[in-house]
Amino acid sequence: MMPPPSKRKVVKIASDADEVLAQCHKLRDELRKKQMKRQSIESGEVNNKSDASSDEDEWGIESSDDDTKKKKTLKKQGALKTDGASTNKNKKGDAKSKPKTQQLSLAELNRKRSATTDADDAEGKQTIVEVVEMSSTEVMEGIENVAMKIAHQVLAKQGFQLDIPSRAASNQIYVPELDRIVLGDKRGTRSFLNVKESRKAAITTRVLELLHKVLSKRIHITKRDLFYTDVKLFVDQTESDGVLDDVATMIGCTRSNLHVVASDKGLVVGRISFFEDGDFIDCTKMGVGGKAIPPYIDKIENIQSDAAFILLVEKEAAYMRMAEDRFYQRYPCIVITAKGQPDVASRMFLSRITSELQIPVLALVDSDPYGLKILSVYMSGSKNMSYDSASLTTPDIKWLGLRPSDLNKYDLPDQCRLKMTDNDIKTGKELLQEAFIMKNPEWMKELQIMVKTKVKAEIQALSSFGFQYITEEYLPRK
């Protein structure tokens, strides 16, 4: 029996695609040059400041040559104002002027380590804690080494204690050269003989045992599965989840190397194909909804794409609009969403395809402080996972929209403009002190507009001009 004829929607490339994508191609070339320089910095071959702050912010409005000159002047003025304001506040001892995340350069970290550590001990010691990709066998050997140390301490009638890198807020550091949050070199102990620490020590050893079983079977489990293996001991899933990150830092591997994953959340559609555990996946032929980003990123191989850029979308509703309109066929691209706050798999997937394909990432988020906070997690990482920021972050993401200046520029109706709450305003002011905002004067200007006007808007507000306005007018103009 013959299959029914295909009713697949055919969408041709847009007539203005070359003009619209020209800027993306230019940005792609710049991105590849910066990637080479960043790799040199991380390998220690170059010791100069990151040039991320020199990026031209060309995605706010359609720009002419005069506009570009104005932006460059504005950028210089903004940088001077920012530096001046910061200096004055620091002189007054105003705690609010300090970024929420501690900021230190690699040189400052080295000096700090030398000042607090003997020369013999400092030699070969890392200034930051960063994990690396490991095989299942290597992770199992790491767990067995920890078990041997525990056994020796118990046989010596000393009880036992675990040496664990500190993941406290005071040990989270933003390094400008790396353009991400990393984990400092502070360490702590977890003693079974200490009444306050004995339960946490017991949970840690139990998790080590369970992980060894999972790795020996070469299977993956979810964090929820892990919790239900010993509910009486863990009591709450946050207990077992937190210990997972501790174990990863102890062993020196990524959390995904422990074979414990979160449920999939992200979606991808567009001009990208790959093999997932031996199965070929073409994301242009995965239906209207696209492909779920798998939690097992290590099983993805042979990534291929002819896309000019990656469009990172905060909301699933906006993502579905682009998927149904097959925006990626009109303007060759890859569309990704994590449906709000990004999960580890989505962040790792974005980081990996960006690294391999070397194409720019353009972000479409709500015009509110939380949209920018979500963007910061993609770009600079989260404090909870700072030890694995190298594989989870994607630097140089361009903020395409929805920007506060767009509200007037596109004459967004008043009923679509929402009043910011006190908490929104507080979050916005805190973001003005964050490094990833401060390094970009144009972003500072946009956030200042938001805080001053006390108005926010969602991406879906553009639907007030028509359901397909975002794909047919807004994005091409941007």
What is the set of active-site residues? 228
Q: Can you spell out the DSSP letters for 389-441?
A: HHHH-----EEEE--TTHHHHTT--GGGPEEPPHHHHHHHHHHTTSHHHHT-H
| Whether 313 contacts 305, CB under 8 Å | no
Closest CA to 37 of 22, 24, 47, 25: 47
Distance between CA atoms of 393 and 5, rounded to whole angstroms?
43
CA distance 475 to 468: 11
Q: Characterize 72-82 residue by residue with b for buried, 16 or more Cβ atoms within 10 angstroms of its Cβ, and e for exposed.
A: eeebeebbeeb
User: How far from each other are the two terminal CA atoms of the chain, in whole angstroms?
Assistant: 48
Copy the structure tokens of residue 267.
């979606």
What is the b/e burial string over 125-155, where b = at least 16 CB atoms within 10 angstroms of the residue's CB?
Answer: eebbbbbeebebeebbebbeebeeebeebee
User: Alpha-carbon torsion 352, 357, 360, 365, what sign?
Assistant: negative
Strands 161-165 and 172-175: unpaired
Burial 295-304 (b: 16+ CB within 10 A, else e): bebbebeebe
Closest residue by Cα to residue 189 from 150, 151, 223, 232: 150
Nearest Cα residue to 242 out of 212, 213, 199? 199
- Give the separation between CA 332 and CA 190, rounded to whole angstroms: 52
Residue 273, C-beta contacts closer than 8 angstroms, at least 6 positions apart: 280, 281, 282, 283, 284, 303, 304, 305
> Could you tell me which residues come within 8 angstroms of residue 131 by beta carbon, excluding any fewer than 6 positions away?
248, 249, 251, 252, 253, 254, 387, 388
Half-sphere exposure of 278 (CA within 13 A, CB side): 0
Q: Are 179 and 395 in contact (CB under 8 A)?
A: yes
Strands (E), 179-257: 180-184, 187-191, 221-222
Q: Can you say whether the dihedral through the CA atoms of 375, 376, 377, 378 is positive or negative?
A: positive
